[in-house]
Amino acid sequence: MENFKQLCYDNKVILAPMVRINTLPMRLLALDYGADIVYTEELIDHRLIKCSRHVNDTLQSIDFIDKSNATVVFRTCSREKLHVVLQIGTSDPERAAKAAQVVEQDVAGIDINMGCPKDFSLKGGMGAALLSCPDKACTILSAVVSAVSIPVTCKIRVLPDINDTIELCKKLATTGIAAIAVHGRTVKERPNHPNRNHFIKAISEALDIPVIAKLLLIRYTNVLCLSRYVLTNNNVCFSGGSKEIETFEDITKFKNITGCSSVMIARTAEKNCSIFKRDGKLELGTIIRDYLHHAVDYDNVAPNTKYCIQNMLRNIQETEQGRHFLESTSLQQIWFV
């Protein structure tokens, strides 16, 4: 229960879960720059269950190592213990509970992914596939809530009908979860579709638990439009729309216009993690150096390190220095580019 009291979704700025991005170096970088809570990338229950916990005295980390192939599935450290939420991909209550128990003592919270629209998740009965099986989704959540002492949440997408979405959220809320995250688009909708903010507002008013919601900023002819809906403060945490967040002031606009409790940022943080800094963003070179310090300190694998930096560099990869970077294959080579 200690972690439950310490992990709060009110008035927070949060690093949203992103596949391949949210490994330990990026999570620590986000915390350095001012993020209050950091999510892991989605980790599949099958992999977590096969892991054993190891104290890495050399790196001062806790490593969860796949016993079948000795690979590190999840690495964490004391710096993030009270801030990190581990997201699990699952389709089975027993596996979900076991996976959560594997990491329970080293994370601040558990999130069940019920919103991913990718084929891998859908074919495995995970992610957004659970939206069409609400009884199964509730069974999974109830199992995890009963299995661990830290807060459990889930992340969903809205259904096409607002009333169906509200009823689904009400049902999920009965399982004892600490909060529910709502992606404001349906499974079939894409980033160019506006966020269904009126869905978010209705869900927030209908539930007694905090709602972590996704709000999209849309640009029309270079004019920034925050939203045509103004929401009341009801412990609502808005995430997403981060493609259009350019400064911390934009995050403040989210809060002031929507009345939400917290903001969760994804793609803008992937590109420039210093978006979390209240006093302004840093130069890209500084961000990459800061990221590399964490990658080296915690022996992050070179392919993942390179992938994350590529997503920061974007078009700069076409420069001479960028081409040298693309040729690198080790942390040492990346460091000296």
Phi, psi of 91 (to 5 degrees): -135, 10
Strand order across the 51-56 sheet: 51-56, 61-66, 72-76
Instruction: For residue 54, say whether it is annotated as part of any ligand binding site.
Output: no
> Among candidates 73, 70, 26, which has minimal Cα distance to 46?
73
Instruction: For residue 267, say whether it is annotated as part of any ligand binding site.
Output: yes
154: annotated active-site residue: no
Instruction: Please name the residue that has the structure tokens 């054993």.
Output: 52
Contact call for residues 127 and 118 (beta carbons, < 8 A)? yes
State the DSSP code for 45: H
Phi, psi of 242 (to 5 degrees): -75, -5
Instruction: For residue 266, say whether it is annotated as part of any ligand binding site.
Output: yes
Instruction: For residue 87, say whether it is annotated as part of any ligand binding site.
Output: yes
CA distance 232 to 201: 8
Catalytic residue among 116, 138, 273, 308: 116
Maximal C-alpha separation, the chain:
56
Instruction: For residue 194, say whether it is annotated as part of any ligand binding site.
Output: no
CA distance 254 to 239: 10
CA distance 197 to 115: 17
Instruction: For residue 323, say whether it is annotated as part of any ligand binding site.
Output: no
* Amino acid symbol at 101: Q
Instruction: For residue 19, say whether it is annotated as part of any ligand binding site.
Output: yes
Residues ≥6 apart with Cβ < 8 Å to 279:
248
Residues ≥6 apart with Cβ < 8 Å to 220:
none
Say how many C-beta atoms besides its own lie within 10 A of residue 195's C-beta. 25
What radius of gyration, in Å, describes the C-alpha atoms of the chain? 19
Instruction: Determine the distance from the C-alpha atom of residue 74 to the mean position of all C-alpha atoms in its chain, rounded to a whole number.
Output: 15
Instruction: For residue 1, say whether it is annotated as part of any ligand binding site.
Output: no
Q: Which residues form the catalytic set?
A: 116
Known binding residues are: 17-19, 87, 155, 183, 266-267
Known binding residues for FMN are: 17-19, 87, 155, 183, 266-267
